[in-house]
Structure 1
Amino acid sequence: MKDTKTSASPGHEDESPETQAEMTDLPHGVDIELYRADVPLWKRIWQHSLTQMILLSIQAFCGPAMSDAITGLGGGGLATPQVSNISTAIRYAMLAVVCFLGGPIVNKIGVKWALVIGSMSFPIQGSAYYCNSKFGNQWYLILSGAISGIGTACWYVAEAGAIMTLAPSGARGKYLALWIVSRNLGQLVGGAINLAKNNQKGADGGISPDTYVAFVIIECLALPFALLIIPFERVVRSDGTKIVTAETLSTKQELRRIAKTVTSRLIMLSSLWALWSFFYSGSWSTYLGVYFSVRARALSSLISPFFCIIGCFALGFILDMKQLSQRRRAQIGMYTVVILNVGVYIWSIIMQVKFDRHDPGHIDWDDKLYAKSFLPYFFVQTTGPLSQSYMYWLLSSFATDAQENVRNGAAFRCIEAVGQAIAYGMNTQTTSDPIIGFGVTFGLLGAALIPMIMLVNTTPDKIPADVVAEEQNAASEKLPIESA
C-alpha cells in the first residue's frame, strides 16, 4: 500500500522532506517511520504533544501557580485579607465574563495568541500586591483584579482547550497530572521564596514587600514560552495521531455555538461541579490568613503542594488504566475525588467550630495546635486540584474535535470563575468566620453529586474525536486500493 501511495504522486521528487512527509500522512495521523526519517529532530521535538504540554505547564508555573502562591499566603500576604478578597472577587468576576465569550475569541485568534495575551497580564497581580504592601496603594490592587482577570481569562480558555486536546487518548490522565503538578511546583517555589523572606518568629501583619518582587520576575518569564506554542494542526502525538480540528467558523456562527455549548447536556450536568471545584480557595485562604502567623503562612505555601504531586499522578494512573473501560475509570475517579473532599471538609468544620469557641490567636509552626489545625488546609490543596484534573479528563472524553474542547473548556472556566468570585466576595463579609464558606462549599459538593453521577454514567467507551479520526484514516487507506 505504501508503494502504491508513493507511485501515485509523480512530479514531487523535488519537494522538501517535510512536505513529502506531510503528503504521505493520513488525515489525522502520520507515518511514524517516514516522519522520523524525513523531519529534523529539533522539529519533531518541538511538534511533539508532550513538548507542547511542557511549554504550557511552564506557563502555568509562571502565571497561575504564582497567583496561587500569593493566595497561599492567606489574604494575599497582606496584613488584613479584606482588600485582597475584594481584588480577587473582581478578578474572577472579569474571568467569568471573558470566559463566557472565550470559545469564539480563542478559536478566532488561535490558542497561541490567546496564551500570549494572557501571559502578558500575569505580572500585573504581583506588582499590585507589591505596591499595596510597600506604598499602601489599594486602588491599583483592586484595578489589577479587573485587568489581570481579562488577560488571564484568555489564557485560561486556551489552556483548558489545550490540556484536553494535546494528550494521546491513553495518556490523558498523566498529561493532566503533569499540568496540575506544574502549578503546584510553582507554588512550591513561591513557598520557598515566602519562607526565605518571612521566617522571623513573632512577626505579625503582612508579608515582606520584597517577596512580591520575586513573584513578578517569575510571572514575566511566561511570555517567551507562550510564543513557542504551535497551532493544534501541527502537533504530532506520541502515538502518531494528529489532533482533529474542525473548519473555522464565522464570528456569528461561533456566537451561536456559545448558546449550544452552555445549554448542552454535558455543561448543564457538570455546571454545579464547576461552580464547586474552585470554591474552596476563598474560604481556606481566609482561614489561613485569620488564624496563622506570617511565617506559618509562608511555611504552608511551601509544603502544601507536596502531597498534591503524589495525588494527581496517582489519579492520572487510575484514569489511564487500560484494563478498565473509560466509563468505569470515570466512575472510580469521581468517587475517589468526592470521598477525599468530604473527609477534608468534615475535618475543617470541626476545627473551625473549636476556633469559634476558643480563639487560638495567630498559630505559629512551633505551637502544639499547628499540625492538626493546618492539615485540613494542607489536604484541601490536594483534593481541590484533583477535582479539576478529573473534570477536564471527563470533559475531554466527550469531545468531537479541538474546537469543541475549547468551547467546553471556556464554559467550564466561566462557571468555575463565577464560583471563585462568589467565594471571595462572600469572604469579604465573613473574614472572621470561615465556617460559612466551609458549609457552603460542602453543600455545593452535595448538590453537584447527583448530576455528575448522571453524566459519568453516560461516558462514551471511546473519545468521539478518536472515533472520527479512525474512520477518516480507514477511509483514506482504502482509496489507493480502490483507484488501483
Structure 2
Amino acid sequence: MENPIQSSIAGNQIATYKPNLAVEHEDVHVDLTIDRERYKVETSRWRRIRQHSLTQMLFISIQAFCGPALSDAISGLGGGGLATPKTSNIRFALDQGVEAIVCLFGAVLVNIIGVKWSLVIGAASFPLLGASYYCNSQFENQWFLILTAPFTGIGFGFWNISEGAYVMSIAPEAKRGKYLALWIVSRNAGQLVGGAINLAKNSTKDAGGGIDPSTYIPFIIIEALALPFAFGICEMKDVVRSDGTKILILPKLKNFEELKYILKTYLSKIIYCSFLFIIWSYFYNGPWSTYLALYFSVRSRSLSSLISPFFCIIGCFGLGFILDLSNKNYSQRKRAQFGFWLIIFLNLLVYIWSLIIQIDFIRNNPGSIDWNDKKFLKSFLPYFFIQTTGPLAQVYTYWILSSFAESGQDNIRFSAALKAIQCVGNAIAFGVSAADSFPLTGMILNCSLMVACIPGMWYITSKTPDRIPADVIAEEMILERRIKMEDPGQKDALDQVHTREVATLA
C-alpha cells in the first residue's frame, strides 16, 4: 500500500524543508484531533466558542478591520489625505522599509513570544498612524509623521507575520479560500467605515487640498479598538477547527535552528519563484494612491474610499469559492492554475485602461476632478477596479503558499517571508511615487512586474500538491499512534518506514 505522505508530497520539489517524520508523537505539542463529546463535556461553552476556528478568524478579521484596513483607508484618501502627497509617500516608504526588516528576522521572535503576544504588540501600535496624520494636518509638524514611521513599521511587522501565519493555519482545508476571503474583505470593510467618515467630514468641499484634520480622530479611536481583540486570540495550538481537527505544531526549535529554517524558507523555490508575484500583488498601492491624490477633489477622494471596497467584497468571495471547489474534476492544482490566470487577465484589463487615462492626463491636465464632472466616471473606474483586482492577488498569494505548508511553524515562516517581500514592494512603490510627480512611472513598473512574475508563478501552480502537506502529515501521525496503541510490536516496522521516508524526502 502506498504511503499517504509519499504519494502526496514526495514529488514536491519546492517545499521549504522536509519534515522530520521520525519525531515521536509525544513531542508534538497538540493532539491532532479531538473527541467532540469529551471536549464538549470538559470544556466550558465560552472556551469552546473562543477556541473555534471561525471565532478566531472573526477576531483576527476585526483587528485587520481596525488596523491595516484603516491604514489602507488613509492611503486611499490620496497621499494620506494631505494637501501634497510627497510627505505621505516618504512616510509610507520608511514605514514599509522598517517593516520589511522586522519581517525578515521576526519569525524567530514570533516563535519565542507566540502569535498572540505578537498580535498584541502590533495592535498597540495601530493608533500611532492616525495620530501622526492628525498632528501633521492640524499642527503642520511633519517631523512627528516621519518619527512614528519606524514604530508603526515595527508594530505592523510583528502583527503581519502573526496575522498571515494565523489565517493560513486555522482554516479547515475545504474552507481556506472562504476564510481568506473573509479576512481580506475585513481589511476592505474598514475602508467602508473610513470612507463614510471621510465623506461626512469633506462632502461640501469641491477643491483639491488636504483632508479636514478632524477626519483622523475617528480613525484613531477605531484603531485603538484592535487591542482588546488581540488579547482574545488563542495560540495556534489551542484552536479547534470546525471539522474537529487541530493545527500541527511541531516542537519549538532553538533560535539558531529556527534561523536556519527561516533561511531555508527564503531560499526555497516556492519563495524565490513567487518573489515577483508577491511584490506585484501589493505594488499598485503607491501609483494609484498618487493618481487619486493628483487628479481628484477632496470629496471625490472621500467618495472613492467609501465605494471602492464594495466590488472587492464580491470579487474576493467569488475567488474564495473557486479556490474551494471540491470536485474530482477540479483538483487543487487545477484550481491554482485557473485562479492565477483569472487574476492576471483581470489586472491586465485594468492596467490598459489606467495607462490610457494617465497618458491622456499628462497631455491634458484635467485639474481637480469632482464627482459631478462629466469625466469623473471614466477617470475614477480604473482606481475603483484596481481596488478589487489587487486584493484578489493578495487572497491568492496566501492561499497558494498555505498549500505547501507542512506545519503551523511553516506558515509563520511563509508569512514572514511574504510580508518582508510585500514591504519591499510597497517601499519601492511609495518611494517611486515620492520621487516622481506623475504615477505613470509606477504604473509602468506595475505592468512590468506582472509580466515578469508569470513564469515563476506558473511553475509553482504546476507543482501545487493535491492536499496540504501539513494535513497529510497529521493524518499519518494519527494513523501511527493508533497502530502503536493496537500493536506495540509495530513500532520497529514504523520507524523503518520513517527512516526510508526521510531519506526519500531529504
TM-score normalized with structure 1 length = 0.93
Please state if 1:319 is matched with 2:332: no
Q: How does 1:403-422 map to 2 (within 5 A)?
A: 403-422=409-428
**Contact 2:30–2:248 under 8 Å retained in 1:** no
Give, in angstroms, the shift of residue 260 of structure 1. Answer: 0.8
Please state if 1:462 is matched with 2:462: no
CA offsets, 1:146-203, max 9 Å, x none? 1101111000000010011010000000000000011111010000000000001423
**Contact 1:94–1:150 under 8 Å retained in 2:** yes
Partner of 2:40: 36
Give, in angstroms, the shift of residue 252 of structure 1. Answer: 1.2
Structure 2 Cα separation of the partners of residues 344 and 95 of structure 1: 29
Partner of 2:13: none
Give, in angstroms, the shift of residue 258 of structure 1. Answer: 2.1
Partner of 2:314: 310
Partner of 1:190: 194
CA offsets, 1:180-236, max 9 Å, x none? 011111010000000000001423310000000010000000001001111111110
**Contact 1:27–1:476 under 8 Å retained in 2:** no
Partner of 1:389: 395
Partner of 2:353: 347
Structure 2 Cα separation of the partners of residues 397 and 210 of structure 1: 44
Partner of 2:286: 282
Please state if 1:373 is matched with 2:379: yes
Letter of the aligned partner of 1:28 in structure 2? L
Letter of the aligned partner of 2:312 in structure 1? C
Structure 1 Cα separation of the partners of residues 353 and 251 of structure 2: 50
Structure 2 Cα separation of the partners of residues 215 and 310 of structure 1: 25
Structure 2 Cα separation of the partners of residues 282 and 32 of structure 1: 48
Note the residue ranges of structure 2 that are not aligned, 5 or more in a row.
1-28, 490-506
SS in 2 for 1:278: helix
**Contact 1:79–1:206 under 8 Å retained in 2:** yes
RMSD: 1.4
Partner of 2:446: 441
Q: How does 1:14-413 map to 2 (within 5 A)?
A: 27-323=31-327, 324-413=330-419
Structure 2 Cα separation of the partners of residues 274 and 207 of structure 1: 31
CA offsets, 1:28-82, max 9 Å, x none? 1112233223322211110101111110000000000010110010000000000
Structure 2 Cα separation of the partners of residues 187 and 202 of structure 1: 21
Structure 1 Cα separation of the partners of residues 73 and 47 of structure 2: 34
Structure 2 Cα separation of the partners of residues 103 and 146 of structure 1: 18
**Contact 2:30–2:246 under 8 Å retained in 1:** no
Give, in angstroms, the shift of residue 483 of structure 1. Answer: 5.8
SS in 1 for 2:487: helix
SS in 2 for 1:101: helix
Partner of 1:15: none
**Contact 1:26–1:476 under 8 Å retained in 2:** no
Structure 1 Cα separation of the partners of residues 321 and 250 of structure 2: 30
Structure 2 Cα separation of the partners of residues 257 and 140 of structure 1: 38
Letter of the aligned partner of 1:32 in structure 2? R
Partner of 1:19: none
**Contact 2:275–2:421 under 8 Å retained in 1:** yes
Instruction: Give identity over the alignment, percent.
Output: 56
Give the number of aligned pairs. 460
Partner of 1:20: none
Note the residue ranges of structure 1 that are not aligned, 5 or more in a row.
1-24
**Contact 2:30–2:237 under 8 Å retained in 1:** no
Structure 2 Cα separation of the partners of residues 284 and 91 of structure 1: 18
Structure 2 Cα separation of the partners of residues 34 and 247 of structure 1: 26
Partner of 1:425: 431
CA offsets, 1:337-356, max 9 Å, x none? 11111111111000001101
Structure 2 Cα separation of the partners of residues 463 and 32 of structure 1: 23
